[in-house]
Amino acid sequence: MNRLWAPWRMDYISGGVPEGCIFCNAPGAPPGSSLLLFSGHLSMVMMNRYPYNNGHLMVAPRRHGAEMDGLGAEESMDVLRLINRCVAVLKDVFKPGGFNIGLNLGRAAGAGIEDHIHWHVVPRWDGDTNFMPVVADVKVMPEHLMETVKKLRPHFDKP
């Protein structure tokens, strides 16, 4: 029997939720355990702890807020700039065939974190979906999250 190991998902499965906002807490997290890839003056990029695919990133404004109409023009432009940078970095490092990019506003729309607006940047490859999520309710992740962080972080350290 083959086993798929994804120990970081146990918190999600068991309902464990970190205290406070993951985006607001990210800049102060210990570097070795942090999924934060970049933190600028107005916005940030971090790995998704419960990714749809390897390299699944989240882009969020630094300022806490849940609604699009709460974003200023400068914040909106900075988020878009970072989304573009995420696409460029992921193309360079993982060479995906495409991307899903979007956000979920409110729980009814699928937002797992309702109180801090954020965009998802999900790299996609031909054939990256298979029977495992449908039949076994399991998503196969070929690389540990912290290995992905190690690969991506240097690309965000560059200006």
Domain membership flag for residue 93 = yes
Q: Identify the domain containing residue 67 by its residue range.
A: 34-128
| pLDDT band for position 16 (cuts 50, 70, 90) | low
| DSSP annotation string for 98-123 | EEEEE---SGGGT-SS-SS--EEEEE
Domain membership flag for residue 2 = no
Domain membership flag for residue 29 = no
Domain membership flag for residue 137 = no
| Residue in 121, 155, 116 with CA at minimum distance from that of residue 26 | 116
Domain membership flag for residue 151 = no
Domain membership flag for residue 61 = yes
Q: Cα separation of 71 and 114, whole Å?
A: 15
Coil, strand or helix at 71: coil
Residue of 56, 116, 118, 120 with catalytic role: 118
Domain membership flag for residue 28 = no
For the chain, how many structural domains are there in total? 1
Residue 93 buriedness (CB in 10 A; 0-12 / 13-18 / 19+): middle
- The CATH number of whichever domain residue 70 belongs to comes to 3.30.428.10
**56 in active site:** no
Q: Cα separation of 138 and 117, whole Å?
A: 27
Residue 78, Cβ neighbours under 10 Å: how many? 20
- Average pLDDT of 12-28? 75
List the structure tokens of 36.
């934060």
pLDDT at site 157: 81
Residue 59 reports pLDDT greater than 80: yes
Per-chain mean pLDDT for the chain: 84
pLDDT at site 118: 96
Residues 6+ apart with CB under 8 A from 34: 26, 46, 149
pLDDT at site 1: 44
Q: Which of 12-21, 54-63, 92-101 has the lowest mean pLDDT?
A: 12-21
Q: How far is CA 127 from CA 25, 53, 60, 98, 124, in A?
A: 35, 12, 29, 12, 9
Determine what percent of the chain is predicted with pLDDT higher than 70. Answer: 77
pLDDT at site 128: 73
| DSSP annotation string for 25-62 | HGGGS-TTT--EEEE-SSEEEEE-SS-SSTT-EEEEES
- Average pLDDT of 17-43? 83
- Average pLDDT of 129-149? 66
Domain membership flag for residue 43 = yes
